[in-house]
Amino acid sequence: MSGAIYRKPIFFSIVATVVILAGTLATMFIPMFTEGMHPRLAALKPYTAIQLAGKDVYQQEGCNNCHTQTVRPLRTEVMRYGEYSKAGEFIYDRPFLWGSKRTGPDLARIGGKYPDAWHLKHFADPRAFFAQSNMPAYGWLAARKLDPAAMRSRMRVNDFPCTEPELAALAGKSELDALVAYMQAIGAAVKGTATASAALPPPETKNPLAAAATAVADGRALYDAHCASCHPNGGKDGIGPGLEDEAADDPDLYTIIAKGYEGEMPGFAGQLDRKQIWSIVSYVRSLKPAAAPQGGKAEEKGVRK
């Protein structure tokens, strides 16, 4: 404990600096120059002007305070959100936007999960889709217009390719349009929405609940919770089509509900089990005004009561 160093502040400070820099060099500075830190997926594209504008809005509004953008390689995480995040997806993010808190769901695989119309409606009123959501409404972003000149310099700083017509097209677009465009661009380099649906076994060839008395009532409750915000009951002006005349046969309808359509409708296999999906199929069949082609009388009664 010879105390010489504690009598020499400059010497002390030099030693302290060296001690502090050891871990800094080993875990932060040196890795910066290794390839593992800068991988790039072949399918990854730079952001377009409107996507970058949307990413700027995402940062401006502090979305990363509540939403992560990194799917961990854990079984349930991949089931819920989709393919786990790869280092090569983020080279155009300066800085990264992985977040540290999931008050809302992860967004790493949000791109292509819903149509634009869904996002617009959801931003305007998150509780229209999820009654218990605590997300602030962001419809007011529609009144804030983008500035093409500012975006020109931002694209240049990022070194993203960009043409004058592309910038000119931003005039008149709103921050909300940009945010939606960014939503659709997130995770685009990696295929795969929730793989709970990808790994799904093929459905039965016939609805196993066709004769079950409560299937339609159960299905209706589930439909109201999960489907009605896009396919309103009996209505035709929803984000998705009305389902009174749904043409797909039962197994196809099951598969659509489970897996969704890329870019148009999310799959529900991660949230609904087999019996629940078949109940919804039963309910949708019961909507047909004429005699139900499948399912039979029991369900007709079920929906009327």
Partner 1 sequence: MSEYAYDEKTVTGFIVSAIGWGVVGILVGLWISVQLWAPSWNIPPYFTYGRLRPVHTNALAFGLGLGAIFGLFYYIVMRLARRPLVLPKLARFHLYLFNVAIALAALSLFAGMNQSLEYAELEWPLDVVVVGMWVVFAINIFATIIKRREEQMYVSLWYILATVIAVAVLYIVNNLAVPAGLTKSYSLFAGANSANVQWWYGHNAVGFVFTTPILAMFYYFLPKSTGLPIYSHRLSIVAFWALVFAYLWTGAHHLVYTPLPDWIQTVAIAFSLFLIAPSWGSVVNGYYTVGGSWDKMRTHYLTKFFILGITFYGLQTVQGPTQAVRVVSSLIHFTDWVPGHVHMGTMGWVTMVVCASVYYAIPKIYGTTIYSEKIANTHFWLVLVGQLVFSVTMWITGIQQGAMWKAVSPEGTLSYSFMEGLAKNYPYWQMRSAAGVVFTAGMLFFIYNVAMTMRQGTLAPAKA
CB 12 within 8 A of CB 5: yes
The conformational region for residue 278 under phi > 0 = left, psi -120 to 50 = alpha, else beta, is: alpha
The residue length of the chain stands at 305
Nearer to partner 1, 134 or 163 (CB): 134
- Residues 16-51 as b/e (b if ≥16 CB within 10 A, e otherwise) read eeeeeeeeeeeeeeeeeeeeeeeeeeeebeebbbbb
Residue 44 neighbours by CB under 8 Å, 6+ apart: 88, 89, 91, 92, 189
Task: State in angstroms the smallest separation of the CB of 19 from partner 1.
Answer: 5
x/- binding map, residues 181-200, to partner 1, per CB under 8 A?
---------------x----
The C-alpha atoms of residue 70 and residue 98 are separated, in whole angstroms, by 5
Nearer to partner 1, 52 or 287 (CB): 52
Nearer to partner 1, 22 or 291 (CB): 22
Residue ranges of E strands in 186-278: 260-261, 265-266
With CA atoms as reference, report the closest residue to 155 among 60, 52, 59, 58: 52
Task: State in angstroms the smallest separation of the CB of 236 from partner 1.
Answer: 27
> How many chain residues are in contact with partner 1, going by CB under 8 A?
89
Map the footprint of partner 1 across residues 252-291, applying CB under 8 A.
269-274
Nearer to partner 1, 154 or 220 (CB): 154
Sign of the CA dihedral with 102 first, then 104, 107, and 113 last: positive
Torsion (CA) 54, 57, 59, 64 in degrees, nearest 10: -80
CB 101 within 8 A of CB 65: yes
Q: Which region, judged by CB under 8 A, interacts with partner 1, from 136-144, 214-222, 248-256, 259-267? A: 136-144
x/- binding map, residues 80-119, to partner 1, per CB under 8 A?
x----xxx-xxxxxxxxxxxxxxxxx--------------
* Of 46, 61, 233, 298, the one binding partner 1 by CB under 8 A: 61
Task: State in angstroms the smallest separation of the CB of 31 from partner 1.
Answer: 6
Map the footprint of partner 1 across residues 203-242, applying CB under 8 A.
none
Task: State in angstroms the smallest separation of the CB of 101 from partner 1.
Answer: 6
The C-alpha atoms of residue 90 and residue 72 are separated, in whole angstroms, by 15
User: What six digits make up the tokens of 61?
Assistant: 């509004």
x/- binding map, residues 5-44, to partner 1, per CB under 8 A?
-xx-xx-xx--xx-xxxxxx-xxx--xx-x-xxxx-----
Output phi, psi for 265, to 5 deg: -150, 135
DSSP state of 145: B
Q: Which region, judged by CB under 8 A, interacts with partner 1, from 113-121, 146-154, 203-211, 244-252? A: 146-154
Map the footprint of partner 1 across residues 65-84, applying CB under 8 A.
65-66, 68, 70, 72-77, 79-80
145 in contact with partner 1 (CB under 8 A) = no
Task: State in angstroms the smallest separation of the CB of 82 from partner 1.
Answer: 13
Task: State in angstroms the smallest separation of the CB of 1 from partner 1.
Answer: 6
DSSP state of 35: G
